[in-house]
Structure 1
Amino acid sequence: MLRRLFSRPTAAPAGPCLNTASSAVAEACLESCALMACTTGRRAVVVNVGCDGAEACRLRAMGIYEGARVSVVDSRNGLLLQVRGARLAIGAAVAAAITVIPLPN
């Protein structure tokens, strides 16, 4: 029983993008970029919040954390994001420190 609990799986589970036939979807899963590089209307998944401790804590409290899905509502003078039904505005410097994987439209 302990061996079953603590043993490593023999094969890595396939991610959601690897199960699809679309090569564009598979490429989107492999390429990450800064959130600031996303254009208006783009949806993305947060991979890393690269801010200092206090700023990262504030972003996580607002719903921007690893694995969160965000949508760029406006990309002028910083970013206006939609996160879990709420709209949040963040500055360009903060958006440049957040790494995301863009989702296909």
Structure 2
Amino acid sequence: MTPPVETQPERTALAWQRTGLGVLAVAGLLGHDAVRQGEPVRLVVAGVAALLGLGVLGALAPVRYRDVRRRVAAGTGMGAPRLVASVTATVVLVAVVAAVAVLTPR
């Protein structure tokens, strides 16, 4: 009998990728609105948000994937509070920026 295939690392990687793509999508919408309104400050903010999304996709997601694979192989716990806190802070920051951009009168 073959051992069951572990899918935890792959599911985790996909979740982190979706998070990064969501941040990039919000940044794209912010950038589009900034260009339409001719507001360079908002365009810079959208660029920073896009860089944060790329950081999640390009740096944090692969780190978490490798960490989960290593932990599954070792049979240890999956928690990574600092990494999760950094991504949570990124998502909250971009959400606040988006809310301010939407709610600020023009």
State if a TM-score over 0.5 links the two structures: no
The structure richer in helix per residue is: 2
| TM-score, structure 1 normalization | 0.29
The structure richer in strand per residue is: 1
Rg bigger for which structure?
A: 2
